A and B are shown apart, each in its own frame.
Chain A
C-alpha cells in the first residue's frame, strides 16, 4: 500500500504498530491513533490485535483438537483423527526423546507451544496488506496480524515457561538444591574459603544462564518472525514503488513483487515451522534440565 500519500517509512511504521487499547492522553480509554500515543499509554495497555489473533488461533486449535479428541476411537481412525494422531505422536516422540523425567504436563505443554506458535506464525503468510486494509475500512487505525512479531506475545509465553522451569527446579531439587545449583557451579573447590569466594562468580554466571533461557527463547522467535514480516513489507514497498515509478512496465514490476513474495513465503513456511519446533524443543529441554538432579 505504498500509495503517493504515504512514504515508505510511514508505511513500515504503520505496519509495525500494534492496535493498542489503553488510556489516552486526555484521560479517556480508547485506541491509540499513532505510535506516540501507544507509547504514552505505558504498561497498562493491551495490544488488541496480538491478543485477538492469538486467542482466535488458540481457540481454533483447541476446538479442532478437542473435537477430534472427544470422538477419538481406537478403531480405524478417520482423516482428521489420523492427522491429529500424527502430530501427537510426533510431539510425544520429541518429548520422550528429550525429557527424561515423569511429568504429565510436559507433553500437552509442548503440543500447545508447537501448534499455537505454528498457527500464529502462519498468519505471516497472509499477504501483508489484506487484513490491515480490511481493518482500516472498519475504522481501526492499526493492525498487526502476526502475534509472534509482538515481543509481548513471545515474552508472555517464554515467561510462563521460565516460571515452570523455576517451579519444577524448586519442586524437584528443593530450595536448597536449586540455590546450590546456582551458587556452587560451575566453579567448585574442596577448600571452603575458595568455595565461598566462588559463590558470587557462580551466582552471576548461573543467573545469566537462567535469565538467558526465557530471553533467548522469546527473542529468537520474535526476531525471526519480525525479520520475516519485515521482508514481506519491504517486498511490498519495492513492488509498489517500482510500479509507481515506471509508467509502461508496471505490470512486470508488480509481477516481480508477486514472485519474490511467493519465493519468500515458500521459504518462510520452513522458518515458521522450524521456529515453532525450536521453541517447543527448547522448552522441553529446559524443563528436562529443571527435573534433573545434578551429581
Chain B
C-alpha cells in the first residue's frame, strides 16, 4: 500500500479510457437513441395523422352515402312520376285510338248500310220495272223511259 507510480499509470489509463468513450462509445449510442426517439415521434405523428384522415374519410363517406341515398330517392320519385305520366299518356293515346277505331267502324257501317240501301233500291227499282213490264205486258224500253225510271228510283 505504497503510493507509487501506479498512480500516474492509473491516471493516464483513466484519461485514455474517457477519451475513448468520448470518441467512440458515447456519440454513436446517443445518436442511435435520439434517432430512435425521432422515429418513434414520427411514427406516433403518422399514426395520429392516419387516425385523423380516417375520421375525415369516414365523415366524407357518410356524406357521400347520404347524398347517394337522396339522389336515389329523387331518381325513384322521378321515375314514378314519369311512369305514371307514361301510363296517362298511353291511356290517352289508347282512348283516342279507340275512338278513332270506333268512328271508322261507324263510318264503314254507315257506308255499308248506304251501299246496301242503294243495292236494295236498285233491286226494288229493277223489281218495280219488271213488275211494271209484266203489268204492261210489254217490254219497257229502258232507254225510252230512262228518265222515268230514274225518277222512280229516286223516289224509292
- Residue pair B5, A108 in contact (C-beta under 8 Å): no
A206 at the binding interface (Cβ < 8 Å):
no
B75 CB within 8 Å of chain A: no
Per a CB cutoff under 8 Å, which of A17, A88, A108 touches B33?
A88
Considering only residues 1-56 of chain B, those with a C-beta below 8 Å from chain A are: 1-11, 13-15, 17-18, 20-22, 24-26, 28-33, 35-36, 38-39
- A88-B26, A111-B25, A111-B26 known; A62 and B7 CB under 8 Å? no
Q: How many chain B residues touch the partner (CB < 8 A)? A: 32
The count of residues in chain A whose C-beta lies closer than 8 Å to any C-beta of chain B is: 55
Contact status of A47 and B4, CB under 8 A, knowing A58-B17, A109-B18: yes
Query: In this complex, what residue of B is CB-closest to A144?
Result: B1
Asked whether, in the complex, the Cβ of B32 is within 8 Å of the Cβ of A65, the reply is no
Interface of B is mostly: helix
Check if A26 is an interface residue, CB within 8 A of chain B.
no
Q: How far is the CA of A60 from the CA of B2 in the complex (A)?
A: 27
How far apart sit A74 and B36, CA to CA, in the bound complex (Å)?
5
The answer on a CB contact under 8 Å between B1 and A16 is yes
Shortest beta-carbon contacts, A-B, top 9: A156-B10, A74-B35, A152-B6, A72-B32, A108-B22, A108-B21, A69-B28, A108-B26, A47-B6
8 contacts between A and B (CB under 8 A): A43-B5, A66-B25, A69-B25, A69-B28, A73-B32, A88-B33, A111-B25, A150-B1
9 further A-B pairs in the complex, CB-CB below 8 A; given A46-B4, A69-B26, A112-B14: A20-B4, A43-B5, A46-B5, A62-B21, A73-B32, A85-B29, A104-B22, A116-B17, A155-B10
Q: Using CB atoms and an 8 Å cutoff, list the residues of chain B in contact with chain A.
A: 1-11, 13-15, 17-18, 20-22, 24-26, 28-33, 35-36, 38-39
